[in-house]
DNA sequence: AATGAATGAGCGTTCATTCAT
DNA sequence: AATGAATGAACGCTCATTCAT
């Protein structure tokens, strides 16, 4: 039941937004009562936090595995992180969109918890870039922290428009983003 | 007074979100009454739409000027568009953050109006890229529409973290983004 | 202007009801502002009272003339009163419907004023009936006061359904009501 | 509780009118809160509709029984319908007065539902009259549809003035109305 | 584990009215 | 004679939350 509530909540939060979705809305669709909801969650915010936690923890775990894989070069790790984010978009689109949009509705404490993990995720990307720079694979005149933000912007923005069912399959999107990020727009002969 | 309401609304919508900000919140801070608010706006949604309209119209106008400037090469136009977006972030940060977050709260009609302008803005970037491709300046194996989304992701994401008061002045951010977008991460010698 | 406000108010009060019609509604349709309204009327209730006063005074005046006409027999006077009410329905339908429906929204003082005139109107009918009874034209086993109410019920109810544009022209309606009231439903041979 | 809300609402709607009675007014008198009201009714209009439905359905049922009773002649059925309406006035005066006054505040759909039943009630009277005409008991030069309206005017108007506690007991009112309707005002010798 | 009833605070909106100009 | 700006009270309604059962 708890899981069912979370699933339905994700569906509705994505469609209508957190504050526009009432607990009544959620339980109505499940055919249970509000009392039930409060048996499993102490508050609406707690439910949101559960969704956040599950989401970001999972993402960080998968990223950690990529980084721990020492058989991959920094360049390959970077590509794998892009792949991770595009894959996630496909698997957990609704969850991710909620993640980007509704942070404001968490309590200050919860926000800090999430922000810490989020920062860790970003710092990991930064580290990969730095390693690449040290190895001379990446240019070293660009600041790694900004580049990490840039990578995240590139991929995260996709949640706003990309649908895997369209012309571009996920694999190709990863390829395009990787190519762009690694070699840029300009033609070599110019 | 109408202008004062809009200013205060932008401030609060950014801080607390559209649906969490009540009209009472807005007028309380201005020391007027709700009746006053409704003298100037027909609804809370209308106020939001006013903010949207003003914002996106202004942005499209400035982009149009860049594109109309035939003394600029596609590459330079692209850089100018990046500069436009970063400049705007600095001038209109709050307005822009609202723009990205609260679309859901517009009426269907209004959403369509905004989406049309937004699409125009994106199509303009696409066009610049396409022109660059045709002139052989840009690689032509990457799809222009995705690249437009990529540029927008790169710049728009900045609204989430960039503060001009920090170590990186706006000019340099434009430079970093341009360099990354044009030539990529990889060192030439690799 | 005062007259224009009254006309428009009658139109709207009939269509939407007194309390559902706002002063804004009235002045909007006339292209003037609320300030204007309050130049001519001290309150919304005062406007309603003006409508009431004009209406019932006019009606009583016309009834008085019928009763003063000594060339008419009681029976003829009764028919003329029915005709007056049907004529009025046609000339002043909206005004009359307001009269029947919105009394509740007058102040207590005003209600009393109106009720007095209304009672006078009814008492006049009663008097005609009584005169008819004394002259032996009307049965005298039926109480005149109830009969006055009956006549008013018969005619006033027409405001709920009768439209002069239909199959039955006003003249005929008067005839039907008169016939029914004077001789009843039953066939003489029964 | 639902029943208590309906009772109190009827009392207040009759005294002050539907739109002048706020939900706050209703719940205040019952010592509960507005939230409670909305637990039982989806809207103020729904409450009104409940009152309408209950009222008119009950009335139509009782009328149907009279009409189905084949031991009664048309004349007797007509008298019984008058009795039904007067009895109802006494039992359900407030409900009935609301019924006559507040239809405007129902939604279009609901109005249509009620109008259908109301029309059925009227058509039933018409039918009784027509049967009487065919049997030669009633005059046949008067149109039955108008006569049905006339009967309804006669009885329904009583809701505006008749109090059973006065000089005239209900039984006698029925008798007066029946006599008037059947044989009219005029003395036979005239 | 779940229900049903109730609360209380707040929300967006309306509106009669006022008043300086 | 009329306007434009503002008020303040009320309204219908929503909703997260509580709690006895």
Main-chain phi, psi angles of C84, to 5 degrees: -55, -45
The alpha-helical segments, DSSP class H, found in D23-161 are 23-30, 34-40, 44-68, 74-101, 108-134, 144-157
Smallest Cα–Cα separation from D154: which of C148, C77, C79?
C148
Task: Quote the CA–CA distance of C152 and C89 in Å, as a whole number.
Answer: 13
pLDDT given for residue B69 in this prediction: 93
Whole-number distance in Å between B65 CA and F5 C1': 39
Dihedral (CA of A120, A124, A127, A129) sign = negative
Q: Which residues of A touch B16 (CB under 8 A)?
A: 104
Burial of B87-102, coded b for 16+ CB within 10 Å and e otherwise, reads bbbeebbbbbbbbebb
Helix, coil or strand: residue A29: helix
Tell which of B167, B185, B187 to mutate to test the A interface (max A CBs under 10 Å): B185
Looking at the partner chain, which of B143, B161, B184 has a beta carbon nearest the beta carbon of A176?
A: B143
Distance from CA of C90 to the nearest CA of D (A): 17
CA distance, residue B119 to nearest chain A CA (Å):
11
Q: pLDDT-derived band of residue D136, with 50, 70 and 90 as boundaries?
A: confident
Residue linked to tokens 């199959």 = C167
Q: Do D157 and C158 touch (CB under 8 A)?
A: no
Question: Are the beta carbons of B147 and A185 separated by less than 8 Å?
Answer: yes
Measure, in angstroms, how far nucleotide F5 C1' is from residue B50 CA.
Answer: 21
Smallest Cα distance from A79 to chain B, Å: 12
Interface test with C, best of D106, D139, D185 (most C CBs within 10 A): D185
Neighbours of C168 (CB within 10 A): 16
Nearest 10 degrees: Cα torsion D65, D69, D72, D74: 70
Residue A142 has pLDDT above 80, yes or no: yes
The whole-number pLDDT of residue C171 equals 93
Contacts of B147 in chain A (CB under 8 A): 176, 180, 185
- Name the token pair of B138: 């840009």
What pLDDT band is residue D138 in, cutting at 50, 70 and 90?
confident
Decide if B176 and A142 are in contact by the 8 Å CB cutoff.
yes
Q: Which residues of D touch C177 (CB under 8 A)?
A: 150
End-to-end CA distance of chain D: 61
Q: Which nucleotide is nearest to B36 (CA to C1')?
A: F6
Which of chain F's bases lie under 7 Å from a protein CB?
1-20
The CA–C1' separation of A7 and E6, in angstroms, is 29
| The two three-digit tokens of residue D119, written as one number | 């029309």
Percent of chain A at pLDDT exceeding 90: 77
CB A130 within 8 A of CB A144: yes
Determine the average pLDDT of the residues in C117-136.
Answer: 94
Lowest mean pLDDT among A2-6, B62-66, B170-174, C183-187: C183-187
What confidence category does residue A138 fall into, taking pLDDT thresholds of 50, 70 and 90?
Answer: confident
Q: Say whether D153 and C149 touch across the interface (CB within 8 A).
A: no
- Residues of chain D with Cβ-Cβ distance to C16 below 8 Å are 104
Q: Is A149–B143 a contact, with Cβ atoms under 8 angstroms apart?
A: no
* Residue D18 DSSP class: T
In a mutational test of the C interface, the residue from D153, D167, D170 whose CB has the highest number of chain C CBs within 10 Å is: D153
Backbone angles phi, psi at A186, to 5 degrees: -65, 140
Contacts 24+ apart (CB under 8 A), C130-136: C131/C74, C132/C73, C132/C74, C132/C75, C132/C78, C132/D185, C135/C73, C135/C74, C136/D187, C136/D189, C136/D190
Q: Is the pLDDT of residue A46 over 80?
A: yes
Q: Quick one: which of D33, B110, B101, B49 has its CA closest to A19?
A: B101
Q: Which residues of chain B have a pLDDT value below 50?
A: none
Give how far D154 is from chain C: nearest CA, Å: 5
Per-residue confidence (pLDDT) for residue D187, from 0 to 100: 64
Contact predicate B168/A143, CB 8 Å: yes
DSSP string, C95-119: HHHHHHH-GGGS-HHHHHHHHHHHH
- The string of pLDDT tens digits covering residues B117-133 is 999 999 999 999 999 98
Question: H or E stretch including A174?
Answer: helix A170-183
Q: Between chains, do D136 and C187 touch, taking CB under 8 Å as contact?
A: yes
The predicted-structure confidence for A71-110, as pLDDT tens digits, reads as follows: 999 999 999 999 999 999 999 999 999 999 999 999 999 9
Q: Which residues of C are less than 8 Å from D179 in CB distance?
A: 142
Helix D44-68 vs helix D74-101: angle between axes, to the nearest 10 degrees? Answer: 180
pLDDT in tens, D88-122: 999 999 999 999 999 999 999 999 999 999 999 99
Structural domains in chain C, CATH included, are 1-41 (1.10.10.60), 43-183 (1.10.357.10)
Report how far apart the first and last C-alpha atoms of chain A are (Å, whole number).
61
């Amino acid at each position: 039941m708890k899981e069912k509530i979370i699933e339905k909540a994700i569906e509705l939060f994505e469609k209508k937004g957190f504050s526009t979705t009432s607990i009544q809305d959620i339980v109505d669709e499940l055919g249970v009562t509000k009392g039930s909801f409060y048996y499993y969650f102490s508050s609406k915010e707690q439910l949101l936090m559960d969704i956040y936690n599950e989401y970001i923890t999972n993402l960080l775990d998968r990223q950690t595995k990529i980084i721990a894989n020492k058989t991959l070069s920094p360049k390959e790790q970077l590509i794998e992180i892009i792949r991770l984010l595009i894959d996630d978009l496909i698997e957990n689109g609704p969850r991710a969109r909620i993640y980007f949009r509704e942070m404001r509705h968490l309590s200050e404490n919860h926000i800090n918890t999430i922000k810490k993990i989020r920062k860790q995720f970003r710092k990991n990307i930064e580290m990969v870039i730095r390693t690449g720079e040290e190895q001379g694979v990446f240019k070293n005149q660009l600041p790694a922290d900004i580049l990490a933000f840039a990578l995240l912007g590139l991929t995260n923005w996709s949640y706003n428009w990309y649908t895997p069912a369209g012309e571009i399959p996920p694999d190709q999107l990863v390829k395009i983003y990787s190519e762009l990020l690694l070699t840029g727009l300009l033609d070599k002969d110019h």
